[in-house]
Amino acid sequence: MKFFQNAISYIFHPIFAPIAGTVAYFIITPKYSPLELQSGNILPIFILTVIIPIIAYLILKNLGLVNSIFIPSLQERKYPLFIQIGLLFLILYKVIPNNYIPELYYYFVGLLSATLTSLMLLYFRLKSSMHLMGLGSLMMFLTVLSIHFEVNITLAISLLIFFTGLTATSRLYLKAHNRSELFVGFCIGLITQLLTVKFWL
């Protein structure tokens, strides 16, 4: 059972939220998106939000600054959050402007705001679930995309809700978070995405 719960935590790790939203956009959008536009966004975003964070984690672990990929302690969580903030800024100022897509731009603004909020809470000794933050952000983004493009993706959203519940259960089972930390993380993800909607919907 513990192996299954760990597997869920790895599969729905928050580092996958940026690339998942990016790929989902190109699948859902009815706008014509040439291959150059898609690869110009997907490839650098994948490198910056998945590959580089993994390398950064390995470096931090070798330096003894973190002990686990799930970063349980408050102090350990600050290092990857600072790195993530820097990478999200890089995407907003260097990657997306080259192939500007307003929906993606504000999705990343929401992700950056959520990450900054989580970092700020750490200084008040409050820990939020990054897993639920990522899933909450993705869920709100898909919901608004569905409304924006008038595309029925109810099944995809329903599956995401199911996997969000499954991830929350796994985090509780592994004693990585309590219920309030999961709730706060989820709300951060939802609200930060919701606040960006007025700029592009």
The per-residue pLDDT string of the chain (201 residues; one tens digit each, 9 = 90 and over) reads 777 888 888 899 999 999 999 999 999 999 888 888 898 899 999 999 999 999 998 998 888 888 777 666 777 888 899 999 999 999 999 998 877 889 999 999 999 999 999 999 999 988 899 999 999 999 999 999 999 999 999 999 999 999 999 999 999 888 888 899 999 999 999 999 999 998 887
- Non-local (6+) Cβ contacts of 58 within 8 A are none
Main-chain phi, psi angles of 72, to 5 degrees: -70, -35
Which residues constitute the domain of residue 28? Answer: 2-199
Q: Confirm if 55 and 63 have CB atoms less than 8 A apart.
A: no
Kindly give the residue spans of alpha helices, DSSP state H, lying in 47-129: 52-62, 74-90, 102-122
Three-state SS annotation for 1-65? CHHHHHHHHHHCCHHHHHHHHHHHHHHHCCCCCCHHHHHHHHHHHHHHHHHHHHHHHHHHHHCCC
Query: Exposed (0-12), middle (13-18) or buried (19+): which is 35, by Cβ within 10 Å?
Result: exposed
Q: What is the pLDDT of residues 133-180, one digit of tens each?
A: 999 999 999 999 999 999 999 999 999 999 999 999 999 888 888 899
Cα–Cα nearest to 139, from 84, 91, 194: 194
Domains: count for the chain? 1
Q: How far apart are CA 38 and CA 35, in angstroms?
A: 5
